Amino acid sequence: MHRTLTAFTLAFTLAGAGQASAQALQAAAALQGTFVDLSGTWANRLHEDFLERAPGPQIGDYSGLPINDEARAVADAYQVSMQNMPERQCILYTTQYIVMGPQNLRIQQELDPISGAVVAYHMSGTVDRAVHDVFMDGRPHPSPNAPHSAGGFSTGKWEGRLLTVTTTHLKSGLVWRNGVPHSDQATMVEHYARHDNMLTVTMILTDPVYWEEPFIRSATFEIDANTRVLPEPCEPQVEIPRSPGEVPHYLPGANPYLAEFPKLYNLPAEAARGGAKTTYPEYGKALRSTYKAPDKCTVNCCAGTTLAMMNNAQAMCRADDAPATPPAATPPANPPTTTPPARRE
């Protein structure tokens, strides 16, 4: 307690007296964060990135992702049914999935019993997302040779009213559920900014193996004590009998579904393949001279604000648009040709 007060007083004094040194600024920055409470249950809002985070991106849709050819090769070979192999069903998404997935978020702070200072934040895992522990006590990151995990190793510091978290030691994982990967060399910087009852989490992922440029994503949550955070344990079971050693995949150049996404939206094939240059305004300007939007939206057109509401919203649109008696659909004999059902959220 005394230590905290002393640090506060010292920082305040130096800064207030106009004698701010770098050290005093740092101390003042850290102390401002003590006024921000991140703890609670935060409800995800799917008001952006809806397709990637809720129903799941379409096969071959890498739009807006600054990935390189290596990443494309991995994603092109990916078959989502790989995920229902019993040995893969319970592999966790890495912590970047806080801003990439549809789930809610629960943040708990661990306090020093004597000083009351926050020594760690524990950000909930879910059925398929790793727990995110953020150490605030100044401990160093472990040796580069230390084991990697889905949660990685994270340390945080307050910069004013922003919590900045640095994560290393991640295992490789999926960024998008259509197979876009990050490697175990990826590092992540997150910024947590609370504004009233909203929490904006910005994630910047840097990966020398699969990404041409740092990948930025941000997601905003609203505090909601009544929202659900799904902690159900994962229980693997055989969903599709397979021969031992069989791993669903496509060989290079053999994925037959890659052309469907750009065709559906009248996009040039190159645009769907991502890459850093496709994320800047000049790319859009160049595209506009040849692009013509399809006449009407046909897939995933309707509003969705939470995962639970998504299906209702889709139903609302269908009820409004569809004929009274929709024609009976013939179940496809092969894997679906547009948005495949995502097994995992």
Partner 1 sequence: MQTLGRVLRAGAVLGMAAVMFSTVAAQGRGGAAPQTPAAPAAPAPPPTGKAGAPVDLTGTWVSVITEDWRWRMVTPPKGDYASLPINMDAKKAADTWDPAKDEAAGEACKGYGAPGLMRQPTRLRITWQDDNTMKVEADAGTQTRLLHFGDWKAPGGAGTLQGDTTASWETGARGRGGAPAPPPMFGNLKTVTKNLKPGYLRKNGVPYSDKATLTEYWDLLRQPNGEQWIVITTVVEDPTYLARTWITSLNFKKEANGSKWDPSPCTAR
Q: Token digits for 93? A: 């998404």
134 binds partner 1 (CB under 8 A): no
Q: Are 98 and 91 in contact (CB under 8 A)?
A: no
Q: Are 211 and 217 in contact (CB under 8 A)?
A: no
Number of residues that bind partner 1 (CB under 8 A): 83
Q: Which is nearer to partner 1, 83 or 339 (CB)?
A: 339
DSSP conformation class of 315: H
Q: What is the DSSP string of 122-190?
A: EE---SSB--EEEE-S-PPP--TTSPPBSS-EEEEEEETTEEEEEEE-BPPEESSTTS-EE-TT-EEEE
CB of residue 49 to partner 1, shortest distance in Å: 5
Options 58-66, 90-98, 246-254, 329-337: segment touching partner 1 (CB under 8 A): 58-66
115 binds partner 1 (CB under 8 A): no
10 binds partner 1 (CB under 8 A): yes
Angle at 32 between CA 27 and CA 34, to 5 degrees: 100
CB of residue 333 to partner 1, shortest distance in Å: 28
Q: What is the DSSP string of 208-242?
A: TTTBSS-EEEEEEEEE-TT-----PPP----SS--
Question: Which residues, 170 to 189, sit near partner 1 by CB under 8 A?
Answer: 189
342 binds partner 1 (CB under 8 A): no
Question: Which residues, 63 to 82, sit near partner 1 by CB under 8 A?
Answer: 63-66
Burial class (CB in 10 A: 0-12, 13-18, 19+), 62: buried
Residue in 77, 229, 302, 342 binding partner 1, rule: CB under 8 A: 302
284 binds partner 1 (CB under 8 A): yes
**Euclidean distance between CA atoms 177 and 100, whole angstroms:** 9
Distances (CA, A) of 35 to 30, 79, 199: 10, 47, 15
Residue in 127, 141, 283, 335 binding partner 1, rule: CB under 8 A: 283
Q: Token digits for 262? A: 């750009």
Q: Token digits for 223? A: 């505090």
Residue in 21, 23, 48, 259 binding partner 1, rule: CB under 8 A: 48
Options 1-9, 76-84, 130-138, 227-235: segment touching partner 1 (CB under 8 A): 1-9
Give me the 187-226 binding string for partner 1, x by CB under 8 A, dash otherwise: --x-x-x-x--x-x-x-x---------xxxxxxx-x----
Question: Which residues, 219 to 278, sit near partner 1 by CB under 8 A?
Answer: 219-220, 222, 265, 267, 271, 278
Residue in 2, 233, 252, 331 binding partner 1, rule: CB under 8 A: 2
CB of residue 13 to partner 1, shortest distance in Å: 4
CB of residue 274 to partner 1, shortest distance in Å: 9
Q: Which is nearer to partner 1, 9 or 231 (CB)?
A: 9
Q: What is the DSSP string of 242-290?
A: --TT---B--TT--TTTTHHHHHTT--HHHHT--GGGGSHHHHHHHHTT
317 binds partner 1 (CB under 8 A): yes
